[in-house]
DNA sequence: AAACCGTGGTC
DNA sequence: TGACCAAGGTT
């Protein structure tokens, strides 16, 4: 092995990107960009919000659905909250959907439906943090801002063989990334580093043999690429228990509740239920004869496992619920529910 | 500033 | 089965 005397050249990565850029619905590829085609900032922003901690594969169908239904930021600004939350159902991190709508309304009312172009203006908007502000500024407006996401962190940690564990390493990794960000084609460059991280410099088995930056990579020289970046160990997830109540009225209507805006599954529809803890207390939303389903619904959230006991009841037309409201059969679709609630429903409706 | 906030795929 | 991971942001 020789010393990596080469410095990583942004230009080398851009040439790689020109040949290997991934094709995605929200992206304007390098050849179209060269012809002067600019991406739609609304679509860039939408994709970046959806892609936060979420895979490209999971995002694609949601991106199509949202941009078809709400083609511009002003269309989205005028949407009903419940419609946006229902359309987001299943994608997770539901605060993103609430902030998406807030942001659209600010851009519509305070910016006349035109996205601001600077990092500082973008980061002031709801749901836009350091990464997304840099991503929109660079990708949509070709400003030389530096994106630091999980991909870039990994690429930089390896390029400079930095063994500092994350998240403490972030400032240093940002310095590395920032020093590399070019004035020329910063939008393509931002996407190029992330594509490199997603397709070549991958977490488990990096394809160093195909990497355009291999000769400049200190981890390649040291043989440490697979072990980087280091991360501080995570806490084990506790298990919590809960009870969900699925009431079906004799006309087929189902009793649902809109959850409070803050906290877990905030703003989403769900079955009324108990708190989720070590030993939940009964909390039926309407007087009825409740029967437990044999199987429980299991689901894992970001920081705990949930085992949900599902109870069902058939209730007469004239009975008023203490919590929630009935949805007629025609207006109910399991797709409007977050995944954990869909799992509970499947236990009742399938067998 | 550490904790909170979803989900589906993979090994 | 379980831990890890994915284009992070907010409090």
Show Cβ contacts of residue A35 under 8 Å, excluding neighbours closer than 6 positions.
none
Domain final residue, candidates A176, A194, A227: A227
Q: Is residue A58 part of a domain?
A: yes
Residues A168 and A53 in one domain: yes
Concatenating the DSSP letter of every residue in A10-41 gives HHHHHHHHHHHPPP-TT---HHHHHTT----H
Q: SS3 helix, strand, coil % of chain A, rounded to 5?
A: 45, 10, 45
Assess whether A273 and A332 both reside in one domain: yes
Residue nearest to nucleotide B2 (CA to C1'): A167
Indicate whether A59 and A189 sit together in one domain. yes
Angle at A12 (CA atoms; ends A8, A16), nearest 5 degrees: 130
Q: Is the CB of A88 under 7 A from strand B?
A: no
Place of tokens 């942004």: A10
Q: Establish whether the CB of A292 is closer than 7 Å to any nucleic acid atom in strand B.
A: no
- Distance between CA atoms of residues A218 and A161, nearest Å: 5
The CATH number of whichever domain residue A184 belongs to comes to 1.10.340.30
CA of A348 to C1' of C6 (A): 32
CB A29 within 8 A of CB A23: yes
A246 and A195 together in one domain: no
Query: Tokens 């619904």 — which residue?
Result: A297
**Per-residue pLDDT at A234:** 86
| Residue nearest B9 (alpha carbon to C1') | A55
Pick out residues 196-215 of chain A having their CB under 7 A from any atom of nucleic acid strand B. 204
A173 and A55 in a common domain: yes
| Whole-number Å distance between alpha carbons of A282 and A128 | 40
Domain match, A143 and A253 both = no
Asked if residue A111 is part of any domain, the answer here is yes
- For position A323, which CATH number holds? 3.90.79.10
Provide the 3-class DSSP secondary structure of residue A231: strand
Boundary (domain end) residue, out of A171, A192, A227: A227
Within this chain, do residues A169 and A27 fall inside the same structural domain, yes or no?
yes
Nearest residue to A289 (alpha-carbon basis) of A272, A253, A313: A313
Strand C bases, protein C-beta under 7 A:
3-10
C-alpha span between A307 and A344 (Å, rounded): 10
Does one domain contain both A223 and A273? no
Q: Give the residue numbers spanning the domain of A187.
A: 10-227
| pLDDT in the model for residue A239 | 94
Claim to verify: residue A109 and residue A252 sit in the same structural domain: no
Q: Which nucleotides of B are covered by protein (CB under 7 A)?
A: 3-9, 11
Work out the angle at residue A333's Cα, subtended by the Cα atoms of residues A332 and A337, and round it to the nearest 5 degrees: 105
Count: domains in chain A: 2
Q: Which residues are A256's β-sheet partners?
A: A325
Q: What whole-number distance in Å separates Cα of residue A242 and Cα of residue A300?
A: 13
One domain, residues A165 and A203: yes
Do A200 and A141 belong together in one domain?
yes
pLDDT of residue A1: 42
As a residue count, chain A comes to: 351
Contacts of A71 (CB under 8 A, 6+ apart): none
User: Which residues of A are catalytic, by number?
Assistant: 48
Q: Is the CB of A90 under 7 A from strand B?
A: yes
Instruction: In whole angstroms, give the CA distance from residue A179 to residue A157.
Output: 14
Q: How far is the CA of A163 from the C1' of B10 (A)?
A: 25
Whether A46 and A171 share a structural domain: yes
Of A202, A227, A252, at which residue does a domain stop? A227
Nucleotide nearest to A236 (CA to C1'): C3
pLDDT at A2: 44
Close Cβ partners of A295 (under 8 Å, ≥ 6 residues apart): A347
Output the tens digit of pLDDT for each of chain A's 351 residues: 445 568 999 999 999 999 999 999 999 999 999 999 999 999 999 999 999 999 999 999 999 999 999 999 999 999 999 999 999 999 999 999 999 999 999 999 999 999 999 999 999 999 999 999 999 999 999 999 999 999 999 999 999 999 999 999 999 999 999 999 999 999 999 999 999 999 999 999 999 999 999 999 999 999 999 999 999 988 889 999 999 999 999 999 999 999 999 999 999 999 999 999 999 999 999 999 999 999 999 999 999 999 999 999 999 999 999 999 999 999 999 999 999 999 999 999 876
């Amino acid at each position: 092995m020789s010393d990596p005397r080469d410095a990583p050249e942004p230009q080398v990565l851009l040439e790689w990107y020109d040949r290997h850029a991934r094709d995605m619905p929200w992206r304007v590829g390098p050849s179209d960009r060269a012809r002067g085609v600019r991406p739609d900032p609304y679509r860039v922003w939408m994709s970046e919000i959806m892609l936060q901690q979420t895979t490209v594969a999971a995002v694609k169908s949601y991106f199509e659905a949202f941009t078809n239904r709400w083609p511009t930021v002003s269309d989205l600004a005028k949407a009903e909250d419940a419609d946006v939350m229902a359309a987001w159902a299943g994608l997770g991190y539901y605060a993103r959907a609430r902030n998406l709508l807030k942001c659209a309304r600010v851009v519509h009312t305070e910016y006349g439906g035109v996205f601001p172009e600077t990092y500082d203006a973008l980061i002031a908007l709801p749901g836009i943090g350091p990464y997304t502000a840099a991503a929109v500024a660079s990708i949509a407006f070709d400003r030389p801002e530096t994106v630091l996401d999980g991909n870039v962190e990994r690429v930089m940690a390896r390029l400079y063989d930095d063994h500092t564990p994350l998240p403490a390493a972030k400032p240093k990794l940002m310095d590395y990334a920032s020093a590399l960000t070019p004035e020329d084609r910063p939008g393509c460059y931002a996407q190029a580093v992330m594509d490199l991280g997603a397709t070549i410099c991958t977490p488990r088995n990096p394809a160093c043999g195909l990497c355009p930056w291999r000769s400049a990579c200190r981890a390649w020289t040291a043989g440490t690429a697979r072990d980087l970046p280091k991360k501080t160990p995570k806490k084990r997830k506790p298990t919590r228990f809960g009870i969900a109540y699925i009431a079906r009225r004799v006309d087929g209507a189902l009793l649902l509740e809109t959850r409070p805006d803050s906290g877990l599954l905030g703003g989403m529809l769900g079955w009324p239920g108990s708190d989720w803890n070590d030993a939940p207390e009964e909390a039926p939303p309407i007087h009825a004869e409740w029967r437990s389903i044999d199987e429980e619904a299991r689901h894992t959230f970001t920081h705990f496992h949930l085992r949900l006991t599902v109870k069902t009841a058939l209730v007469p037309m004239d009975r008023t619920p203490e919590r929630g409201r009935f949805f007629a059969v025609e207006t109910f679709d399991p797709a409007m529910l977050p995944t954990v609630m869909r799992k509970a429903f499947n236990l009742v409706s399938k067998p």
